[in-house]
């Protein structure tokens, strides 16, 4: 277990450098260990999905250490700031509008125009985020559909050397997951019940909170049905060649294409480019076609996403 490191200033600084350089760091929070990467690095985020064997591109929670971090990538108003000052650090997650169309955030946000963010109540996590200088996107540090890890050893037993560094903060104080609320509209919507009680939020806000039961037309968050990015133009998948003047997105050894998700056939590279390339193609204004993607590894997630995007044009 050579990738497990004790907690001290030197090792937290090393872990921050790993984050800055596109690597993966497992770190403790007040609930479970998270598998962290730079939210602005699509390749690093793709490596999270690959390491976990995560079956689809669900939006991931970004972790911040200071409220001012919010202003760098999310729309913030007085209601958001008031809730943050009252309940952070702690198990309350916000779904907010993204401040711009920065394609670097697309993979972490699952192609949505919203970002999901919280401030963990754990000193090691907060120090790591501060030293990294960027929000750290982090699902639980374990293989998908396995028990969430509450010790560094659990992380290693699940993910092994797929993690560059595991910061050993001891046993987590295991609790329920964070409460997730959507703050993108006039009404506040509860997307997932968790560590902050609905009644406490309503008392603080002085208003009733609506409850979402997973309607795909409501804003999305981890643990809910997802409404994913789909191009405005016709989108044809599993295309072996261009038809007419289509904007053709290739994969692997494809010569006649406008963009190639990965010339070498690297599924991690393809995943990191997916949403950005779909944006570029959509902005071009032509019909869109995409090469077949192998239905293995991260290809399962890529195919899930593009099937959803293509299906929306058929209904």
The residue among 228, 243, 241 whose CA lies nearest residue 278 is 228
Beta bridge partners of 144: none
Residue 105 forms part of a structural domain: yes
Q: Which long-range contacts (CB under 8 A, 24 or more apart) does 182-185 make?
A: 182/95, 182/114, 182/212, 182/218, 182/219, 182/221, 183/79, 183/80, 183/83, 183/94, 183/95, 183/96, 184/75, 184/95, 184/96, 184/97, 184/114, 184/219
Residue 223 forms part of a structural domain: no
Q: Are residues 305 and 167 in the same domain?
A: no
**Measured distance CA(293)–CA(295) in Å, rounded:** 6
Q: Is the pLDDT of residue 158 over 80?
A: yes
**Measured distance CA(171)–CA(28) in Å, rounded:** 8
What percentage of the chain exceeds 90 in pLDDT?
Answer: 62
Q: Are residues 68 and 200 in the same domain?
A: yes
CATH number at residue 303: 3.40.50.11030
Model confidence at 306, pLDDT cuts 50, 70, 90, reads confident
Q: Is the pLDDT of residue 16 over 60?
A: yes
Q: Are residues 241 and 101 in the same domain?
A: no
What pLDDT was estimated at residue 179?
86
pLDDT tens per residue across span 251-266: 999 989 999 999 999 9
Q: Is the pLDDT of residue 243 over 80?
A: yes
Residue 229 forms part of a structural domain: no
Least confident of 1-5, 64-68, 222-226, 282-286: 222-226
Kindly write down the DSSP assignment for every residue of 265-311, as one continuous string.
--HHHHHHHHHHHHHHHHHH-S-EEE----SSTHHHHHHHHHHHHHH
Q: Are residues 23 and 139 in the same domain?
A: yes
Mean pLDDT confidence for 8-31: 96
Q: Are residues 199 and 289 in the same domain?
A: no
Instruction: Provide the residue range defining the domain that includes 247.
Output: 235-311
Q: Are residues 202 and 112 in the same domain?
A: yes
Question: Cα-flanking dihedrals φ and ψ of residue 44, to 5°?
Answer: -65, -40
Residue 221 forms part of a structural domain: no
The answer to whether 166 and 49 have CB atoms below 8 angstroms apart is no
Mean pLDDT confidence for 274-291: 90
Among the candidates 211, 226, 245, a domain finishes at 211
Q: What is the 3-state secondary structure (H, E, C) of 172-239?
A: CCCCCCCEEEECCCCCCEEEECCCCCHHHHHHHHCCCCEECCCCCCCCCCCCCCCCCCCCCCCEECCC
Mean pLDDT confidence for 213-239: 62
Q: Is the pLDDT of residue 172 over 70?
A: yes
Q: Which residue has the higher pLDDT, 312 or 125?
A: 125
Q: Is the pLDDT of residue 303 over 60?
A: yes
**Measured distance CA(219)–CA(78) in Å, rounded:** 20
Model confidence at 248, pLDDT cuts 50, 70, 90, reads very high
Q: Are residues 36 and 173 in the same domain?
A: yes
What pLDDT was estimated at residue 183?
95
Burial of 101 (0-12, 13-18, 19+ CB in 10 A): exposed
Q: Are residues 173 and 36 in the same domain?
A: yes
Across all residues in the chain, what is the average pLDDT?
Answer: 88
**Measured distance CA(28)–CA(297) in Å, rounded:** 27
Q: Are residues 178 and 278 in the same domain?
A: no
Model confidence at 113, pLDDT cuts 50, 70, 90, reads confident
What pLDDT was estimated at residue 75?
93
The residue among 284, 292, 296, 310 whose CA lies nearest residue 251 is 292
Among the candidates 177, 211, 245, a domain finishes at 211
Q: Are residues 38 and 102 in the same domain?
A: yes
Q: Is the pLDDT of residue 290 over 90?
A: yes
Q: How many domains does the chain have?
A: 2
DSSP category for residue 136: E
Residue 44 forms part of a structural domain: yes
What pLDDT was estimated at residue 218?
42
Question: Cα-flanking dihedrals φ and ψ of residue 204, to 5°?
Answer: -70, -45
Model confidence at 305, pLDDT cuts 50, 70, 90, reads confident
Model confidence at 213, pLDDT cuts 50, 70, 90, reads low
Q: Are residues 252 and 119 in the same domain?
A: no
Q: Which residue has the higher pLDDT, 311 or 19?
A: 19
Q: Are residues 202 and 242 in the same domain?
A: no
pLDDT tens per residue across span 61-96: 999 999 988 988 899 999 999 999 999 999 899 999
Model confidence at 174, pLDDT cuts 50, 70, 90, reads low
Question: Would the pTM of this model clear 0.75, i.e. be above it?
Answer: yes
The answer to whether 12 and 128 have CB atoms below 8 angstroms apart is yes
Residue 225 forms part of a structural domain: no
CATH number at residue 77: 3.90.870.10
Residue 241 forms part of a structural domain: yes
Q: Which residue has the higher pLDDT, 98 or 57?
A: 98
Angle at 288 between CA 283 and CA 292, to 5 degrees: 135
Q: Which residue has the higher pLDDT, 308 or 74?
A: 74
Q: Is the pLDDT of residue 175 over 80?
A: no
Burial of 284 (0-12, 13-18, 19+ CB in 10 A): middle
Among the candidates 162, 196, 211, a domain finishes at 211
> Token match 């911040």: residue?
64
What pLDDT was estimated at residue 176?
64
Residue 288 forms part of a structural domain: yes
């Amino acid at each position: 277990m050579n990738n497990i490191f004790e907690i001290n200033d030197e090792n937290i600084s090393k872990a921050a450098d790993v984050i800055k350089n596109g690597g993966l760091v497992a770190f403790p929070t007040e609930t479970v260990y998270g598998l962290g990467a730079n939210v602005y690095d699509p390749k690093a985020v793709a490596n999270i999905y690959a390491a976990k064997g995560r079956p689809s591109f669900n939006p991931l929670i970004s972790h911040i250490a200071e409220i001012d971090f919010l202003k760098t990538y999310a729309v913030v108003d007085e209601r958001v700031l008031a809730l943050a000052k009252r309940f952070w650090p702690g198990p309350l997650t916000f779904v907010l509008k993204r401040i711009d169309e920065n394609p670097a955030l697309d993979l972490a946000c699952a192609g949505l125009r919203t970002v999901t963010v919280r401030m963990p109540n754990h000193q090691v996590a907060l120090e790591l985020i501060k030293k990294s200088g960027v929000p750290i996107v982090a699902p639980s540090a374990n293989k998908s559909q396995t028990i969430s890890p509450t010790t560094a050893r659990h992380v290693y037993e699940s993910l092994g050397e797929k993690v560059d560094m595991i910061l050993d903060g001891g046993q987590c104080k295991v609790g329920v997951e964070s409460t997730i609320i959507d703050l993108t509209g006039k009404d506040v919507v509860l997307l997932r019940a968790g560590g902050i009680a609905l009644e406490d939020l309503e008392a603080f806000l002085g208003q009733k909170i609506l409850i979402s039961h997973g309607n795909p037309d409501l804003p999305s968050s981890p643990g809910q049905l997802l409404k994913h990015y789909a191009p405005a133009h016709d989108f044809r998948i599993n295309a072996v060649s261009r038809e007419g003047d289509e904007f053709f997105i290739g994969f692997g050894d494809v010569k006649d294409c406008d963009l190639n998700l990965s010339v070498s056939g690297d599924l991690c590279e393809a995943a990191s480019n997916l949403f950005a390339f779909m944006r570029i193609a959509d902005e071009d204004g032509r019909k869109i076609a995409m090469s077949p993607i192998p239905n293995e590894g991260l290809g399962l997630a890529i195919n899930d996403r593009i099937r959803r995007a293509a299906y929306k044009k058929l209904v």
